[in-house]
């Protein structure tokens, strides 16, 4: 017989301990309760392929209307994560940094993903010119690189993805969000 409550648990660890994560390297997953209703998981990846795989799996927790805000310096792996995310959301197309276009769109019958680069955004007027505010009330998924430049304008329930470069190949990826990111503990 199943234990009561077990079905409610989210088998989060499973997503990240599956292949292709490197064996024998730093690969523990740290899970924290930030505050009531807010959870944080930290995962280490050891190649761009692992980051993309992590993002592809994370996509299964993402739904229409979500906003993912990325933080992390140049070359941290934000675009790599969005590439995996798009794949996991079933979207086609080559995902590259929207450095010059400011926003790239990936569409399907089911879901649209808008991928922003806020690197050069300094003022609210700059932000208006990207069309960002028009996308906020739609049911598309937003993925925002350099979100630290628009912190005041991020919607409630934003999922934060912070990527820290540890060395050439290793990244510490911290995802903070609602109960979807609660660890099952098993
Ligand atoms: N574990 C890893 N995860 C992601 N990228 C990695 C990893 N290890 C090495 N890399 C390399 O780091 C770079 C990440 O590039 P990416 O374009 O994704 O960064 P970014 O954060 O989007 O940078 P920018 O702010 O310039 O847009 C790539 O060259 C990739 O090969
Ligand atoms: Mg980028």
**pLDDT band, residue 25 (cuts 50/70/90):** low
CATH annotation of 47-173: 3.40.50.300
Ligand with an atom nearest the CA of residue 43: 1
Residue with CA nearest ligand 1 atom 1? 47
Q: Is 7 exposed, middle or buried (0-12, 13-18, 19+ CB in 10 A)?
A: exposed
Q: What pLDDT is stored for residue 141 in this prediction? A: 97
CA 100 to chain centre: 21
**pLDDT band, residue 173 (cuts 50/70/90):** very high
Residue with CA nearest ligand 1 atom 17? 79
Choose among 166, 169, 143: nearest CA to 59. Answer: 143
- Give yes or no for residue 112 having a pLDDT over 70: yes
Q: What pLDDT is stored for residue 21 in this prediction? A: 53
Instruction: Decide whether any atom of ligand 1 lies within 6 Å of the 147 Cβ.
Output: no
Domain limits, the chain? 47-173
Choose among 117, 118, 71, 114: nearest CA to 89. Answer: 114
Q: Pick the atom of ligand 1 nearest to 73's CA.
A: 25
Instruction: Decide whether any atom of ligand 1 lies within 6 Å of the 48 Cβ.
Output: yes
- The CB density around residue 81, as the number of other CB atoms within 10 Å, is 29
Q: Which residue has the higher pLDDT, 83 or 25?
A: 83
Pairing of strands 30-35, 141-145: unpaired
């Amino acid at each position: 017989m199943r234990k009561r409550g077990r079905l409610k648990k989210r088998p989060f660890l499973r997503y990240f301990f599956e292949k292709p994560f490197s064996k024998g390297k730093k690969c523990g997953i740290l899970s924290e309760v930030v505050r009531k209703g807010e959870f944080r998981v930290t995962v280490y990846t050891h190649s761009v392929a692992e980051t993309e795989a992590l993002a592809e799996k994370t996509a299964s927790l993402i739904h229409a209307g979500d906003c993912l805000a990325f933080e992390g310096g140049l070359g941290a792996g934000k675009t790599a994560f969005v590439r995996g995310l798009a794949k996991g959301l079933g979207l086609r197309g080559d995902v590259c940094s929207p450095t010059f276009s400011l926003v790239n769109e990936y569409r399907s019958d089911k879901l649209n993903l808008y991928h922003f680069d806020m690197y050069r955004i300094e003022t609210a007027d700059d932000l208006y010119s990207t069309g960002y505010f028009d996308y906020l009330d739609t049911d598309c998924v937003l993925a925002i690189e350099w979100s630290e430049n628009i912190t005041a304008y991020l919607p409630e329930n934003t999922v934060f993805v912070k990527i820290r470069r540890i060395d050439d190949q290793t990244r510490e990826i911290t995802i903070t969000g609602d109960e979807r990111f609660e660890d099952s503990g098993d």
